[in-house]
Amino acid sequence: MSVEPISDQLATEMVDALGEVYGVHAGHRATHAKGTLCAATFTATPEAAARSRAAHFQGAPTRAHVRFSNGSGVPDAHDGARDGRGMSVKFYLPDGSTTDVVALTLPVFFVRTPADFLELTRARRPDPATGKPDLARVGAFVAAHPESVAAMQLSLAVAPPASYLGLVYHAIHAFELVDRDGSGRYVRYRWEPEEPREPLAKEEARARHPDYLRAELVDRLAVGPAAFRLVLALAEPGDPVDDPTAAWPQERETVVAGRLEVTGIATDRERDGDVLVFDPTRVTDGVACSPDPILHARSRAYSVSLERRSGVPRPA
């Protein structure tokens, strides 16, 4: 099933609305503005190779970049602020191409469609009189869109993390893995840390340096690599593959598809004019996008944001 790309107008309106929530910060992403880029190596398991013919799932070590980030579009926000966190991974494939996995600490998303995303984002615009969102306006949106309740409740319960390296990250969208015989099965990715960490108390986090999460990354990786397992949740018939607001049952079969070893802070990209984009629709042979409207909207919206922050076309 194909999905029509969103219009340039809708993509522009989505990015404009984010700017009205977070402010416009030249040179920065519209969301996940504050982040740290790391170097990494991914090594797939035999189980991954059995399920997908994708190059990075065949077992040879694959070079990667990982960007850990805070969810908001405010580049100087305190790391202890209540916020979702992101983990974006770019795999560098043997033929010179790349493929990306973009994940969040929330296991489900707020909306099903780009139009709903725009409506919710506009509802979150700060009231000029208070500088804060109008809770009545947000509440009206939630009442009209009950599918948003799960993500809303989870986001309100977010505690400040002690480390980016100790969180579970969910890729929220479904992707179809295709094997060498052409058979496919939908999965959802998640990254599970080998060193999970308990969150901080709000007061403790706020007492730390505003950039304490980057500092912790630098200190931890100076000791040695940290690692995540890539876990695949396997869809069963009837599981929604086009709705990021809907969780799959917890009892779904899972497979460990590989190990990502984060080795240090990266200094070879995002400098001297280099621009790095993580796009979940940038898939490779052996992986196919699901017919999820939110998934397919992200690429065009990212391009609008990129053009504004860098003035260059979208690179790999």
CATH number at residue 109: 2.40.180.10
Tokens describing residue 176: 């179809």
Residue 312 CA: distances (Å) to CA of 34, 91, 276, 304: 20, 22, 11, 10
Distance CA 163, CA 201 (A): 13
Q: List Cβ<8 Å contacts ≥24 apart for 7-13.
A: 8/300, 8/304, 10/114, 10/115, 10/118, 10/297, 11/297, 11/300, 11/301, 11/303, 11/304, 12/304, 13/118
- C-alpha 124/C-alpha 134 separation (Å) is 7
Structure token pair of residue 115: 């139009």
Which residue range forms the structural domain that includes residue 118? 8-310
Whether residue 236 is contained in a domain is answered as yes
Residue 274 lies in a domain: yes
Choosing from 32, 56, 78, 173, the catalytic residue is: 32
pLDDT surpasses 60 at 121: yes
Q: Which pLDDT score is estimated for 237? A: 96
Give this prediction's pTM. 0.96
SS3 (DSSP) at 246: coil
32 in catalytic set: yes
Residue 280 lies in a domain: yes
Tokens read off for 114: 């780009």
In a domain, 54, yes or no: yes
Kindly indicate the confidence band of residue 315, based on its pLDDT and cuts at 50, 70 and 90. Answer: low
Q: Is residue 216 part of a domain?
A: yes
57 domain-assigned: yes
**Interatomic CA distance for residues 267 and 39, integer angstroms:** 8
Torsion of the alpha carbons at 191, 196, 202 and 206, rounded to the nearest 10: -80
Task: Using the predicted structure, report yes or no on whether residue 75 has a pLDDT greater than 70.
Answer: yes
pLDDT at position 209, please? 98
pLDDT tens-digit series, residues 262-290: 999 999 988 888 889 999 999 999 999 99
Number of domains in the chain: 1
Is 92 part of any domain?
Answer: yes
Residues 6-15 pLDDT 10s: 999 999 999 9
Residue 3 lies in a domain: no
| pLDDT tens sequence across 133-156 | 999 999 999 999 999 999 999 999
With a pLDDT cut of 70, the percent of the chain lying above it is 98
